[in-house]
């Protein structure tokens, strides 16, 4: 289906719109819609869900008629590493503490660059960044994050 679309960008955007719109309508199927003068909580989401799905259909239909440029290559490596570094941060922050979480985040996300390699300047930057975060966010702004979490302090 997607292969014969002449404008893949419009095609995939449309598919997402249809999916989100219909899911919203389906989740909201039990919400009371109420009447015009006293609308229930379900009125607005249902209208928006159908509108979104309708625009999605429009976009998909148009993708078969109008020409467009291809989507282009997806940087899977960058995508995976940046996403992975965020996941690691989320998982480690409350158990291992800020310092290990940031170390994991910086090292994993830095690996996303094509020119990733070990060098003194980058290592110095890493240490400076860690010190900056500890000082500014934890000490200065008082964000409640333990520098070292329960894994280390028992």
User: Which stretches of the chain bind other proteins, using CB under 8 A?
Assistant: 9-10, 12-13, 16-17, 20-21, 24, 27-28, 31-32, 35-45, 48-49, 51-52, 55-56, 58-59, 62, 69, 71-75, 78-79, 82-83, 85-87, 89-90, 93-94, 102, 105-106, 109-110, 112-116, 121-122, 125, 129, 133, 137, 141, 143-145
Spatial CA neighbour of 147 closest among 78, 92, 69: 92
Residue 36 or 154 with smaller CB distance to other proteins = 36
Residue 65 or 87 with smaller CB distance to other proteins = 87
Q: How far is the CB of 54 from other proteins (least distance, A)?
A: 9
Q: How far is the CB of 129 from other proteins (least distance, A)?
A: 6
Measured between alpha carbons, how far is residue 105 from residues 49, 98, 101, 102, 108 in Å? Answer: 37, 10, 6, 5, 5
Contact 84, 108 (CB under 8 A): yes
Measured between alpha carbons, how far is 148 from 132 in angstroms, rounded to an integer? 16
Q: How far is the CB of 13 from other proteins (least distance, A)?
A: 4
Contact 53, 18 (CB under 8 A): yes
């Amino acid at each position: 289906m997607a292969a014969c679309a002449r404008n893949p960008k419009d095609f995939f955007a449309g598919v997402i719109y249809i999916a989100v719109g219909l899911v919203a309508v389906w989740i909201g199927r039990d919400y009371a819609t109420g009447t015009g003068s006293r609308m229930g909580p379900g009125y607005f989401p249902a209208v928006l869900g159908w509108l979104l799905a309708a625009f999605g259909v429009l976009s998909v239909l148009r993708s078969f008629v109008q020409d467009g440029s291809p989507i282009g290559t997806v940087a899977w490596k960058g995508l995976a590493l940046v996403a992975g570094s965020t996941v690691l941060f989320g998982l480690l922050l409350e158990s291992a503490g800020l310092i290990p979480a940031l170390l994991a985040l910086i090292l994993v996300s830095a690996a996303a660059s094509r020119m990733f390699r070990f060098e003194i300047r980058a290592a110095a930057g890493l240490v400076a960044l860690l010190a900056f975060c500890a000082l500014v966010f934890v000490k200065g702004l008082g964000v409640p994050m333990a520098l070292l979490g329960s894994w280390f302090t028992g």
